[in-house]
């Protein structure tokens, strides 16, 4: 039986990396409305994966009904779910409105306020935590803007196409259209020079066309 196109795209976008055998320098959480992600960041911190947490995100397309900058909401959720993590181990960037700004504004903040932990200096390798559908674009944007600092991609282990579709539907989003939009951004942003280039596998290109054509039907 042919696998649904949306599930093929989800698995492509949501690919993760193995947890490192040794600690990295920081865990960078890319903000969105899903408060399961700061809990994942807290879990990774408590497992000893990194000594620092960085939450980045202001108010943007993925904020939904948080009612405040994403990084601020994530900090509140982290305090609730992991109250023993020291506040001084968390750095917040709460002005950015998109993925490129997440990375640029965080780099500027670290260089200005925490120079010993600037990217490429004290922070040489990171774990990036993001919503599954955004993970690949985060990695490609990171590769363009911070090419000397390897980023390992992480998402909640229990996240599947079905769980994410339910989560987004509850917020009023069409998840299949959202997945198609992510593929469009990966193509378009690379052409504009905003992200690193990566060839789109033929299977994913076909799945994208199938969803796009379905979404655009009158």
- Tell which residue, 52, 31, 157, 167, has the closest CA to residue 101: 31
User: 55 pLDDT exceeds 60?
Assistant: yes
Rounded-to-integer distance, Cα 12 and Cα 96, Å: 26
Between the alpha carbon of residue 163 and those of residues 166, 201, 215, the distances in Å are 5, 25, 21
pLDDT band per the 50, 70, 90 thresholds, residue 216:
low
Q: What is the mean pLDDT of residues 181-196?
A: 96
Q: Please write the tens of the pLDDT for every residue from 98-133.
A: 999 999 999 999 999 999 999 999 999 999 999 999
Between the alpha carbon of residue 71 and those of residues 38, 39, 158, the distances in Å are 9, 13, 23
Instruction: With 0.85 as the threshold, say if the pTM is over it.
Output: yes
Q: What is the mean pLDDT of residues 154-179?
A: 94
Rounded-to-integer distance, Cα 5 and Cα 205, Å: 10
Domains of the chain: 5-9+162-215 (no CATH), 16-156 (3.40.50.620)
User: 51 pLDDT exceeds 90?
Assistant: yes
Torsion, Cα 156 157 159 161, to 10 degrees, reads: 130
pLDDT at residue 1 in the model: 43
Between the alpha carbon of residue 183 and those of residues 4, 68, 148, 217, the distances in Å are 16, 28, 25, 18
Rounded-to-integer distance, Cα 109 and Cα 162, Å: 37
**Contact criterion met (CB below 8 Å) for 57 and 69:** yes
- Token reading at 76: 């509140």
Residue partners of 45: CB distance under 8 A and separation at least 6: 27, 53, 82, 85, 89
Query: What is the share, in percent, of the chain residues with pLDDT greater than 70?
Result: 97
């Amino acid at each position: 039986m042919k696998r649904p196109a949306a599930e093929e795209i989800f698995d492509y976008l949501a690919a993760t990396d193995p947890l490192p055998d040794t600690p990295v320098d920081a865990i960078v959480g890319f903000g969105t409305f899903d408060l399961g992600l700061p809990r994942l960041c807290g879990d990774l911190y408590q497992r000893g994966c990194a000594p620092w947490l960085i939450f980045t995100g202001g108010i943007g397309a993925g904020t939904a009904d948080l009612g405040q900058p994403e990084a601020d909401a994530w900090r509140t959720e982290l305090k609730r779910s992991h109250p023993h993590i020291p506040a001084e181990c968390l750095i917040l960037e709460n002005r950015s409105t998109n993925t490129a700004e997440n990375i640029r504004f965080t780099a500027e903040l670290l260089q200005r306020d925490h120079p010993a932990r600037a990217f490429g200096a004290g922070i040489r390798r990171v774990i990036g935590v993001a919503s599954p559908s955004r993970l690949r674009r985060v990695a490609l944007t990171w590769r363009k803007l911070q090419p000397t600092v390897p980023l390992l991609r992480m998402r909640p282990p229990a996240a599947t196409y079905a769980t994410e579709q339910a989560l987004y539907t509850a917020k009023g989003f069409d998840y299949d259209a959202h997945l198609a939009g992510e593929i469009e951004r990966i193509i378009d942003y690379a052409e504009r020079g905003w992200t690193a280039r990566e060839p789109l596998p033929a299977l994913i290109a076909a799945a994208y066309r199938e969803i796009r054509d379905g979404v655009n039907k009158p």
